[in-house]
Chain A
């Protein structure tokens, strides 16, 4: 995090302003790197590995807040050929999610096969959670059709929850606080709205249900456009909600601590006083953040169920 005092001049947003450093300048486009005392480094994405336009591979072993910078990245279509910190984090989060969920699920399954009650608090919690999501969230909202897709929503929940929680780890950085990640997650919900809606109602039935029955004829085109935009707007809000909530916590903690860091420029008494309040405050906010991690994972999942459920079962 940003506890350390800033190194004066080195606080710049991105590589354009980065200074070249002796011994690290490789290639014509590599202007060097930025040192990692940036209080924003926790929420910023950093390039770990990139393919430059001239075909050379740029990479840096991880170092606090240090990114490969100052080169012209190669493009594949609209995609930059880069591997960033958040991409790496996302992979780690997915791996952790997979391992935790699979291990626990297998344990629960073994218990179920042996016709025994689940053993251990984690297995109990997972079984209770699965049954809760299926019977209390997915089925009442989306009916029996949607209950088959319970794994989808469970995956949203655990992926976002573990992503949020791991985002609280210093140095690791919050992948769910990256707008691209939340666009991807909300976009997949949007895709589910269409795909599952059409799969369950048929293409014609789905398009027809976009306009509620009983709409006056002159209103039909307007309603059609509105209903077409509805899920898009909902999913956009879904994306922004998760992103904003996750990044806001990091920003607040970062800024509370940055106050102390900022105080480093002032007489040390004042800096000390600032940190004296700043650290407990940052700690308190971090604890609140852990609560937010759960709430946001739950809210995202619940809203995904509601949106997809509305598409699968329009009458609900």
Chain B
């Protein structure tokens, strides 16, 4: 008898606890909708928004970090490139310096050679000049001396022009021999 109420009939042939009661149904819908609206406005809505904001914040931070990383990478690459360029430049400068040094050396050598050649030339010219002078002087002296000697030897006055002619002929002969 105690267990029978489960099957006790309510209205409409259903057990009492299975009887459809529209007012309860409508009330349930109303309560649920009210709860949904209130929770959406005061709890879930702001909460979802706050979560989304935080997610955006985190996503932005990650993006920023990535961007900065890329920037740093680019900078490192640039510095590497610059370093390479600087090295190349330095090598070029050294090479150029070496080339310049060789050139200068060559120039100096050439100049020195030229100078030496010039000096030699001049020395030769001077020697030649001195030689010529000496020869001319010698010839003059010889003429005079010979004239003196001839005058002395011959002891007669010969016409000056004859003297000269004889002497010069004589010198010519001497000169040919000297040379």
Contact = CB atoms under 8 A, between A and B. Distances in A.
Interface string A222-237: 0000000000000000
A45 interface: yes
Interface residues of A, number: 61
Interface stretch (B43-51, B109-117, B150-158, B167-175): B43-51
A13 B10 contact: yes
A261 B2 CA distance: 8
A97 B37 CA distance: 13
B21 interface: yes
Contacts of A44: 16-17
A159 B28 contact: no
Prevailing SS type, chain B contact patch: helix
A11 B42 contact: no
Given A13-B10, A130-B47, A151 B40 contact: yes
Contact of B43 (A106, A113, A131): A106
Contacts of B15: 13
Contacts of B36: 151-152, 155
Nearest to B18: A179
B39 A45 contact: no
B17 A40 contact: yes
A102 B27 CA distance: 22
Given A105-B47, A159-B35, A45 B24 contact: yes
Given A13-B16, A181-B28, A155 B44 contact: yes
Given A179-B18, A184-B32, A262-B3, A151 B44 contact: yes
Interface string B9-40: 11000011110111111111101111110111
A40 B5 CA distance: 7
A180 B24 contact: yes
Contacts of A134: 48, 51
Given A11-B4, A159-B35, A102 B16 contact: no
A134 to B, nearest CB: 7
Interface in A1-42: 6, 11-14, 38-40
B21 A45 contact: yes
Interface of B: 1-6, 8-10, 15-18, 20-29, 31-36, 38-40, 42-48, 50-51, 53-54, 57
19 contacts: A11-B2, A13-B15, A13-B16, A81-B23, A82-B21, A84-B23, A87-B23, A87-B27, A90-B28, A98-B39, A101-B44, A105-B43, A105-B44, A109-B47, A131-B51, A134-B51, A151-B43, A180-B28, A188-B33
